Structure 1
Amino acid sequence: MLIINGKILTMTGKPVECGYVRTEGKVITEVGTMSALDKRHKGEEVLDVDGAWVMPGLIEAHAHIGICEEKWGAIGDDCNEQTDPVTPALRAVDAVNAMDPAFHDAIKAGITSVMTGPGSANVVGGQFVFMKTQGRCVDNMTVLFPAAMKAALGENPKTIYGDQGKCPATRMGAAALLRRTLLEAVQYRKDKERGRLDREDFDKEPWMPVLQRVIPMKVHAHRADDILTAIRIAKEFNIDITIDHGTEAHLVVDEVKASGFPVIVGTDLTSRSKLEIQNMNFKTNKILAEAGVLIAVTTDHPVALIQYLPLCAGLAVKEGLPMEEGLKAITINPAKICRVDQRVGTLEAGKDADIAIFTGNPMEVFTKTLYTIIDGQIIYNGMKDDDEFTLPPLNAGIDNPKAVHAENE
């Protein structure tokens, strides 16, 4: 495929005001200006976007899509195993339903990949997966698994297990339980390295990539004290974490910056339904970014619907986050945080051909998605049922690149 006459936002530098993107198979092969395009190339599908914004596919860094399904209520809710506060062996790939209609909503919004996994009922929830939004078989949609180990501090595990008369009933209990679990995993690793094990432990093995810092521990933490506890524990065990939600991270911004850990902020597009999110504000993004903290914006789908991801970034921009940082917070930043930036998050030769094409800035409410391309294939064509913004069909040709066709295909 050859996409021409677009405003190309590679997310690696300044936009190319009139440029092209060429793909071959599932990867991007070229990105450049129209003046540098070799027009002798023939025999490929040509998509003339006539000034539309061409971006890397958007990325949701924290969601429960496919696990907490829309429409099906309790029957479709596989988000939380509320029978044991420590469940590291749970695997998101065993619960994601690729038929969840939210995947289609994501695609329509230009979202091409997501990090999805267990919820925050448990102190240790299980293993996340980073996956594409298009497909029917999770195994074929997977980009990285395991991608992170979920942990949670604060109200959720404290309330759920405290109400059952179990530990953790307090924040001290949650922290102690997490420390005990990590300490047991560290001892298991030592015994394994010294050949002292008769067999592998089903609940300890999932911790090995975390202890080796291959993947992070993904910590649900809203309140400032929970954020600091997460950082404290990560330093004690020399592991990497992402701070997920980080509602009060702006109140301890110096400590968060000093930790070096990224924050996946949000969702702020919801009600203040519990005490620990009373200080939520879209300004958190600006404050953290100005301090040099790597941030991504999240919907925490289905807390806010996944298709509102670019709007959440837009609201952060409205509250002072620079425009470019808003776009990075839903493209290259989540790719880096989720450790998949070698494949997605930018438009560069060699990266996956995951591309979103919009009528304008996707963070603006009236912007429409024209095309969503995943692995080099057009998965969503917004022109089929919308003739207000006309574009030429495929194979319009390069010789007359500005020709606009009335008929949409």
Structure 2
Amino acid sequence: MLIYNAEIHTMGSLGVVKDGWIDIQNGKIRNIGSGYLPYDDKDAIDAQGGMLLPGFIDAHNHLGIIEDGLDFEGDDCNESTDPFTPQMRAIDGINPFDRCFEEARMRGITAAASSPGSANACGGEIAAVKTYGRRIDDMLIRNCGIKFALGENPKNVYNGREEAPITRMAITALIREGLYKARRYAHDMDSYYSDSENYDPPEYDIKCEALMPLLDHKMKAFFHCHRADDICTAMRIAKEFSLDAVIIHGTEGHKIADIIAEEKIPVICGPVICDRCKPEMRGLELKNASVLHENGVKIAICTDHTVIPIQYLPLSAQAAVKGGLDFDEALKTLTIAPAEILGIDDTTGSLSVGKDADIQLYRRGENPLDLMSEPVLVMVSGEVCRREV
């Protein structure tokens, strides 16, 4: 398929391609260029000067793992029977037939990082998935990290049961204990593999197995935290165990933006368009993303769906623009920045040869972040999911 006569915002090294065309074959981008081509492809689409972008990516949400319109029956987000559950995998709880996948696609959101919740000090493995498909295994881009949570959520869940953890100290101690166990487990495995005659393998431990990719830098550690002190705790743990860390929410990041920048840790900001619904969100400010960016922190915007419905991801970025973020940077927070943070930028997040054809097109002059805007064309891995041109 060929799309031509488009203003292509590649979000990559090609920048903005005026009067551009993009050639798609077998779900991949085969070529990008500008100017006249002999358009003999009967399926060629005239973009009529519209803006063509990579599909948006929601870097943190609970899409499909908290199902729309259901209560307990469709909530598989928190295994809150144990405060430390790295062995849980979001992919095992996601229902791809949840109608919110379609609502995401219709708004140009082609990928999402669906995460376990924040009831536990460690909730499990995050799955970055495409928003189109019927079997989650086929939609999976990669399992990209382990979810940890600091602050009020674990405190509230386990305080009500009179079980640990009920303090920030205990939450951090649980995380530290789990990571130290995994480190020792990995050492014992290495000893066995290098000298099986003199060393026995450790007894199988599914929690340690789940954490080993973090220690090997094959996955990232995603820390749910709102308050500035919790963000600093996350950075402390990351430094102690040499983890590739990401801050989720980072509500008070604007208070310590320079410190976060020094540590070179990215922040997934959001939800942005919500109230200050609990004490640790008292520091919520619309300027947060802008201040973090101005200090050199890599940022993405998220909805935390179902907190904010996923189709309002672009509006969330527009709200960040109102808070001072540059418009072009806001587009990056929904495309290449979340792809890089999630470690999926080799396949999506920008438009370049060889990447998946995750594409959206808007009418000429239309702002893709505006509440009233909707794409006239959406493709996920080359599959046309919406077409009005």
State if a TM-score over 0.5 links the two structures: yes
Match of 1:17 in 2: 18
For residues 206-232 of structure 1, give each alpha carbon's deviation from its aligned partner in whole angstroms, at most 9, with x where no partner exists: 111100111111110000000000000
How many residue pairs get aligned? The number is 379
How far 1:52 moved relative to its partner? 1.4
In 2: Cα distance, 1:42 partner to 1:347 partner = 23
Could you tell me which residue of structure 2 aligns to residue 173 of structure 1? 170
The residue number in structure 2 matching 1:400 is: none
SS at match of 2:256: helix
Kept after mapping to 1: 8 A contact 2:188/2:202: no
Distance 2:139 2:65 in 1: 15
> 2:182 is matched with which residue: 181, 185, 190?
185
Name the residue aligned to 2:81: 83
Counterpart of 1:19 in 2: which secondary structure?
strand
Q: Does 1:213 align with 2:217?
A: yes
- 1: CA distance, partners of 2:216 / 2:202: 22
Q: Which stretch of structure 1 is more off in the superposition, 351-360 or 62-71?
A: 351-360
| Residue number among 338, 346, 359 corresponding to 2:342 in the alignment | 338
2:368 matches 1:369:
no
Deviation per CA, 1:71-127, whole angstroms, max 9, x where unpaired?
A: 112211111111110011101111000011110110011000111120000000000
Pairing of 1:136-147 with structure 2 (within 5 A): 136-145=134-143, 147=144
Counterparts of 1:92-131 in structure 2 under 5 Å?
92-131=90-129
Amino acid at match of 1:68: I
Question: Which shifted more, 92-101 or 191-200?
Answer: 191-200
Corresponding residue number in structure 1 for 2:277: 273
Q: TM (normalized to structure 1)?
A: 0.91
| Gap runs ≥5 in structure 1 | 384-390, 392-409
Distance in 2, Cα, partners of 1:199 & 1:163: 33
Instruction: Specify the code of the residue in structure 2 equivalent to 1:108.
Output: M
Partners of 2:381 and 2:270 in 1: how far apart? Answer: 28
More moved, 24-33 vs 229-238: 24-33
CA contact (8 A) 1:2 1:44 kept: no
Match of 2:197 in 1: none
CA distance, structure 2, for counterparts of residue 117 and residue 180 of structure 1 = 22
Alignment partner, residue 388 of structure 1: none
Contact between 2:151 and 2:168, CA under 8 Å: does it hold in 1? yes
Name the SS for the 1:194 alignment partner. helix
The 8 Å contact of residues 61 and 334 in structure 1, kept in 2 or not, is answered as yes
Q: CA deviation at 1:31?
A: 1.1
d(CA) in 1 for partners of 2:249, 2:42: 44
**CA separation in 1, counterparts of 2:162 and 2:177?**
19
Unaligned 5+ segments in structure 2 are 193-199
Check if 1:52 corresponds to 2:83.
no
Are the counterparts in 1 of residues 189 and 202 from structure 2 also a CA contact under 8 Å?
Answer: no
> Percent sequence identity over matched residues?
41
CA distance in 2, matches of 1:153, 1:205: 22
- C-alpha contact (below 8 Å) 2:248/2:269 kept by paired residues: yes
Which amino acid is 1:87 matched to? T
1:26 aligned partner: 27
Q: Secondary structure at the match of 2:376?
A: strand
- Judge conservation of contact 1:311–1:362 (CA < 8 Å) in 2: no
Moved more, 10-19 or 286-295: 10-19
Question: Residue 224 of structure 2: SS of its match in structure 1?
Answer: strand
The answer on whether the counterparts of 2:60 and 2:268 sit within 8 Å (CA) in structure 1 is yes
Q: Do the aligned residues in 2 keep the contact of 1:121 with 1:160 (CA within 8 Å)?
A: yes
In the TM superposition, what is the alpha-carbon distance from 1:178 to its structure 2 partner? Answer: 0.8
Match of 2:302 in 1: 298
Residues in 2 aligned to 1:326 and 1:355: alpha-carbon distance in whole angstroms: 17
Which residue number in structure 2 is paired with residue 401 of structure 1?
none
Cα distance, 1:295–1:353 mapped onto 2, change above 3 Å: same
Measured after TM superposition, the shift of residue 319 of structure 1 is 1.4
CA contact under 8 A between 1:58 and 1:110: conserved in structure 2?
yes
Report the alpha carbon displacement of residue 38 of structure 1 after superposing the two structures with TM: 3.3
Of the three residues 150, 156, 162, the one matched with 1:159 is 156
1:38-75 Cα deviation digits (max 9, x unpaired)? 31x63452011101110001101001000011111221
Partners of 1:56 and 1:22 lie apart in 2 by 14
1:199 Cα offset (Å): 4.6
> Alpha-carbon deviation of 1:200?
3.0
Supply the distance in 2 between the matched residues of 1:198 and 1:325 (Cα, whole angstroms): 48
| Amino acid paired to 1:218 | F
Please provide the CA RMSD for this pair.
1.1
Which runs of 4 or more aligned residues in structure 1 lie more than 4 Å from their structure 2 counterparts after TM superposition? none
Distance in 2 between the 1:310 and 1:53 partners? 15
2:289/2:320 contact within 8 Å kept: yes
